[in-house]
């Protein structure tokens, strides 16, 4: 019996859904993530996604992980102009200077949050008391692009020096790390 999924038509290529989109939906999206390394990785990837498709980010994810030293925040925080220029020449990633510089700024801010809270995980999940928000969606039209929570977290992240963390990016980030579960009610991967 074929498993039921959310509408993944956004990720279709040539009339089919690529394996990376299926894998992301089935194993990562909406699943609670608590590892700081992955929380940072997703923050960078979501920032890189601004203005492009998530499908493109998934296609380039391995390249991003290699180019950004496995998304180790301490390493990324230490990137200088030479490394930024190297990244600007890397055809395997999104070569947008503002986004790359934002990744460096975000690594520095991320480390400060870790220092203050003990982990980024404690910080980001504190906004919901450690609970997953499940919207029990029945249709794609029910899914917001942002909400009160993403606006609150966005403001707090910006206050702490994070970049490319507007409410829409933050909402997508919260979905990606499982703080928000927006899988459709009938989806077998809830």
Over residues 146-189, the pLDDT tens digits come to 999 999 999 999 999 999 999 999 999 999 999 999 999 999 99
The answer to the question of residue 149 being in a domain is yes
pLDDT at 139: 82
Instruction: Give the active site residue among 29, 33, 46, 173.
Output: 46
Among candidate residues 24, 79, 125, 171, the one labeled active-site is 24
In a domain, 76, yes or no: yes
Confirm whether 173 is a catalytic residue.
no
Domain count across the chain? 1
Tell me whether residue 116 is in a domain: yes
Distance (Å, whole) CA 151 – CA 122? 19
| Rounded Cα distance, 48 and 98, in Å | 10
Per-residue model confidence (pLDDT) at position 140:
79
Query: Does residue 156 lie within any of the structural domains?
Result: yes
Identify whether the C-beta of residue 133 lies closer than 8 Å to the C-beta of residue 183: no
Within a domain: 144: yes
- In the residue annotation, 151 being an active-site residue is answered as no
Which listed residue (54, 101, 151, 156) is catalytic?
54
The residue ranges of the chain whose pLDDT is under 70 are none
44, 73 Cβ separation under 8 angstroms: no
Residue 15, pLDDT score: 81
> How many residues appear in the chain?
190
- CATH number of 150's domain: 1.10.340.30
How much is the pLDDT for 9? 82
Cα angle 178, 174, 184; round to 5:
60
pLDDT at 79: 98
Side-chain-facing half-sphere of 83: CA atoms under 13 Å: 13
Q: What is the pLDDT of residue 76?
A: 98
Q: Which residues pair with residue 6 across a beta bridge?
A: none
- Residue among 58, 74, 64 at smallest CA distance from 106: 74
Q: What pLDDT, on a 0 to 100 scale, did the predictor assign at position 78?
A: 98
| pLDDT of res. 109 | 98
Q: Is residue 19 part of a domain?
A: no
Spell out a b/e string for 37-49, using b for 16 or more CB atoms within 10 Å of the CB, else e.
eebbbbbbbbbbb
Domain residue limits at 71: 33-181
8 A C-beta contact, residue 143 and residue 182: yes
Domain membership of residue 80 (yes or no) is yes
The values of phi and psi at residue 167, to 5°, are -60, -35
**For residue 63, what pLDDT is reported?**
98
pLDDT in the model for residue 1: 80
49 belongs to a structural domain: yes
């Amino acid at each position: 019996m074929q498993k039921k999924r959310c509408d993944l038509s956004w990720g279709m290529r040539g009339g089919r859904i690529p394996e990376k989109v299926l894998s992301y939906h089935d194993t990562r999206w909406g699943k609670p993530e608590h590892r700081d390394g992955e929380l940072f990785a997703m923050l960078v990837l979501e920032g890189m996604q601004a203005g492009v498709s998530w499908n493109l980010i998934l296609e380039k994810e391995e390249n991003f992980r290699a180019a950004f030293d496995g998304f180790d925040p301490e390493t990324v925080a230490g990137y200088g102009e030479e490394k930024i220029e190297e990244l600007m020449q890397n055809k395997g990633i999104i070569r947008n200077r503002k986004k790359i510089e934002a990744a460096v700024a975000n690594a520095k801010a991320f480390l400060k949050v870790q220092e203050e809270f003990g982990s980024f995980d404690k910080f980001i999940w504190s906004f919901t008391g450690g609970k997953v928000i499940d919207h029990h969606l029945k249709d794609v039209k029910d899914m917001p692009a942002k909400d009160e929570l993403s606006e609150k977290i966005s403001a707090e992240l910006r206050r702490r020096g994070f970049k490319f963390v507007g409410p829409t990016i933050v909402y997508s980030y919260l979905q990606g790390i499982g703080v928000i579960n927006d899988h459709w009610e009938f989806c077998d991967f809830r």
